[in-house]
Amino acid sequence: MTKVSDTLWDLAIAEVEKRENTYSDDKSVEVWEKSILFMGNKNGGKTTIILRCLEREEIPKPTLALEYTFGRRVRRHNAPKDIAHFWELGGGTSLLDLIQIPITNNNINSFAVVLVLDLSKPNELWTTMEKLLQVTRHHVNKILTKVEKTSPEVATEIKQRVENNLQKDHPDYELIDPFPIPLVIIGSKYDIFHEFDSEMRKIISKTLRFVSHYYGASLVFTSKSEALLLKARVLINHLAFGYDKSKSLSVDHSKPLFIPAGLDSLSQIGPPPASDSDIGKMRAKTPLELWKKVFEETFPPKSFCDLQDTKDPAQDLQYAECEVDVTRAQKKQVCGSCSTAIQSQELEHYRRNGSKSWKEMDFDSEVF
């Protein structure tokens, strides 16, 4: 019971002790902390999806490199808030080296990947998907190799979690190659994709169904439609906050696909969309390679160089800095010969100032 003489500090201490006692009595209470990396086509809608998942009413801005935000959820009254770390890789496939920054030895056990593919750009689809997943998989496997040596039980837990997406009695259990960490593939801009020729839609849909199933991933098509964004949010919330898996399923190619991991099969997907004679002429070592060849027959890929982000960040208005921009503008106005002279003067000025500070330093005379 609160006493009249209790100070605000006493009340605060009492409240903290009360909460600690509550949590210590309930062994099941623990803070859920997960991390998700969003990557995919440039301008493919990654930021919009993240904002919708976090219920933020903001106008999406282009992602320049690698951006971070987080979200919190409360599972029940007085329980600690669960935390989800959201990383977003910008630039499509132009910044692959940045993938290794958010995925580390410390968080690999709680990490997942969301690959957002722009359905309105089928000629970029396979190249974007292949490059991003290859680099991510290589980095994750390097980490898992280290983890197996230092914490084999953690490595086993990660492997077991991925394998659980496909039961051992599933007919395709021995035919697929699951991604090493949880993966969700989102086909964005369905509203534009829906206007494509029906045969084109069928080829793209079947191909993404195969790829998702082959990697043990979930697949969902979405757009700016609130109903479709909600479906994507269901899958992401499962990864981020441990919400229950959705049991709904939509495999009709004339409608937006929604296929949670492990609920599809090769028999339902069918063979690659090509004639037997054409398939017989294609040399492929794996089923994935065969599907790639068939897909690229209809949608010739853009070269990797064409997918690079060549935009100059210094010209992007969202990163405007008045003083910096004014200085840069002044330097640009200087002609080539004058520019060299000015740069030399700046270098000499820096050297003189540096010399002064160096002379003032008390260097140790001892030689090592």
Q: What is the 3-state secondary structure (H, E, C) of the chain?
A: CCCCCCCHHHHHHHHHHHHHHHHHHCCCCCCCEEEEEEEECCCCCHHHHHHHHCCCCCCCCCCCCEEEEEEEECCCCCCCCEEEEEEEECCCCCCHHHHHCCCCCCCHHHEEEEEEEECCCHHHHHHHHHHHHHHHHHHHHHHHHHHHHHCHHHHHHHHHHHHCCCCCCCCCCCCCCCCCCCEEEEEECHHHHCCCCHHHHHHHHHHHHHHHHHCCCEEEECCCCHHHHHHHHHHHHHHHHCCCCCCCCECCCCCCCEECCCCCCHHHHCCCCCCHHHHHHCCCCCHHHHHHHHHHHHCCCCCCHHHCCCCCHHHCHHHCCHHHHHHHHHHHCCCHHHHHHHHHHHHHHHHHHHHHHHHHCCCCCCCC
The mean pLDDT of the chain is 82
Q: Is residue 78 part of a domain?
A: yes
Establish if 256 belongs to a structural domain: yes
Q: Confirm whether 295 is domain-assigned.
A: yes
214-236 pLDDT, tens digit per residue, is 999 999 999 988 899 999 999 99
- b/e per residue, 91-129, with b = 16+ CB within 10 A? bbbbbbebbeebbeeeebbbbbbbbbbbbbbbebbbbbb
Q: What proportion of the chain, given as a percentage, has pLDDT over 70?
A: 74
User: What is the per-residue pLDDT for 98?
Assistant: 95
**Sequence-ordered list of residues with C-beta below 8 angstroms from that of 200, at least 6 positions apart, any chain:** 122, 298
For residue 362, the model assigns a pLDDT of 43
Q: Which residue has the higher pLDDT, 325 or 45?
A: 45
Token reading at 332: 């640009």
Stretch 275-297: mean pLDDT? 88
Task: Examine residue 3 and state whether it is found in any structural domain, yes or no.
Answer: no
Percentage of the chain lying above the pLDDT 90 cut: 50
pLDDT for 325 beyond 90:
no
- Round to whole Å and give the CA distance between 145 and 129: 24
Number of structural domains the chain divides into = 1
Please tell me the pTM assigned to this model.
0.75
* Residue with the larger pLDDT of the pair 154 and 169: 154
- Residue of 124, 128, 111 whose CA lies nearest to 179: 111
pLDDT for 79 beyond 80? no
Residue 121 counted as domain residue: yes
Chain CA centroid to CA 90, Å:
9
Quickly state the pLDDT bin for 249 (edges 50, 70, 90). very high
- Lowest model confidence (mean pLDDT) among 151-165, 290-304, 345-359: 345-359
What's the domain range around 181?
A: 33-305
Higher model confidence: residue 313 or residue 325?
325
Q: Is residue 73 part of a domain?
A: yes
Of 73-82, 150-159, 343-352, 353-362, highest mean pLDDT:
150-159
pLDDT band for 25, please (50, 70, 90 cuts). very low
Can you give the CATH number for the domain in which 254 is found?
Answer: 3.40.50.300
Whether 21 maps to a domain, the answer reads: no
Q: Residue 353: inside a domain, yes or no?
A: no
What are φ and ψ of residue 351, in 5° steps?
-65, -40
**Structure confidence at residue 353 as a pLDDT band (50, 70, 90):** low
